A = this chain, B = another copy of it.
């Protein structure tokens, strides 16, 4: 048992939750390692939503609301950590939700889809095809889902796949704690924040932003600024350790 007053209570509870879902086969073992990687960067931004990340979250809401065919791509870690939150975001944004796994097996696809459905998500299922310009098994997606989307939210995404989606001309929004990753750099909009802090903020913004605010946010963002500011936050925290 982790004591509630432990300074890193939330982070440790999240880690426990992922280990539990790994035992169920929802989260891949590689997904646990990827999560650890994120933890380190989260530590460096102080385990909080920075001002620039908050701006990125509002911008994400604006882009999803303005889209013709918005899709949320969900992997094992995202489903394990935020199934309920994805259900809320789907209701607020009207986006399609499609499961897309890095370590893809039929059994895992079904487990993740069931987990999301149990949380109230309407999951877009059906036949997948190899439609993304990638040389391996990660090319799979659905023709009327991610393939046809104009705006796609891909939390915790692989760099290759993120680049492929951008190359296809899509507006790609990612949530990634590492501002230096290929995913962060390739995406149209990068939210440098922890998943379960980020998703509810996007949902809230979908519900609250006026049409005018959305129109303004959707055209005025500068992803380079957002990444730079995240790096600046981390550098400041590391330098502080030198004092």
Whether A29 is near chain B, meaning CB under 8 Å from some CB there, is yes
In contact, A29 and B23 (Cβ under 8 angstroms): yes
Chain B proximity mask over A2-41: 1 for CB below 8 Å, otherwise 0 = 0101111000100110110011000011101111111111
Whether A242 is near chain B, meaning CB under 8 Å from some CB there, is yes
Partner pick for A234 among B37, B135, B238, CB 8 A cutoff: B238
In contact, A232 and B228 (Cβ under 8 angstroms): no
Which of A1, A12, A235 has the most C-beta atoms of chain B within 10 angstroms of its own C-beta? A235
The chain B residue with its CB closest to the CB of A31 is: B32
- CA–CA, A135 and B5, complex, Å: 10
> How many copies make up the complex?
2
In contact, A39 and B33 (Cβ under 8 angstroms): yes
Whether A180 is near chain B, meaning CB under 8 Å from some CB there, is yes
- CA–CA, A18 and B30, complex, Å: 8
Partner pick for A43 among B3, B159, B178, B235, CB 8 A cutoff: B178
In contact, A180 and B242 (Cβ under 8 angstroms): no
A–B complex contacts, Cβ < 8 Å, 13 sampled? A7-B159, A7-B182, A15-B33, A32-B36, A33-B39, A40-B41, A43-B178, A43-B180, A232-B242, A234-B238, A235-B238, A235-B242, A238-B238
Whether A92 is near chain B, meaning CB under 8 Å from some CB there, is no
- CA–CA, A7 and B180, complex, Å: 14
Q: Given contacts A43-B178, A242-B232, are A15 and B30 in contact (CB under 8 A)?
A: yes
Whether A220 is near chain B, meaning CB under 8 Å from some CB there, is no
Whether A239 is near chain B, meaning CB under 8 Å from some CB there, is yes
The chain B residue with its CB closest to the CB of A232 is: B242
- CA–CA, A43 and B182, complex, Å: 12
Partner pick for A36 among B16, B19, B34, CB 8 A cutoff: B34
The chain B residue with its CB closest to the CB of A18 is: B33
Q: Given contacts A235-B239, A241-B180, are A136 and B40 in contact (CB under 8 A)?
A: no
- CA–CA, A192 and B232, complex, Å: 23
- CA–CA, A19 and B102, complex, Å: 15
- CA–CA, A135 and B4, complex, Å: 11
Whether A115 is near chain B, meaning CB under 8 Å from some CB there, is no
Interfacial chain B residues near A12, Cβ < 8 Å: 30
- CA–CA, A222 and B179, complex, Å: 32
The chain B residue with its CB closest to the CB of A8 is: B159
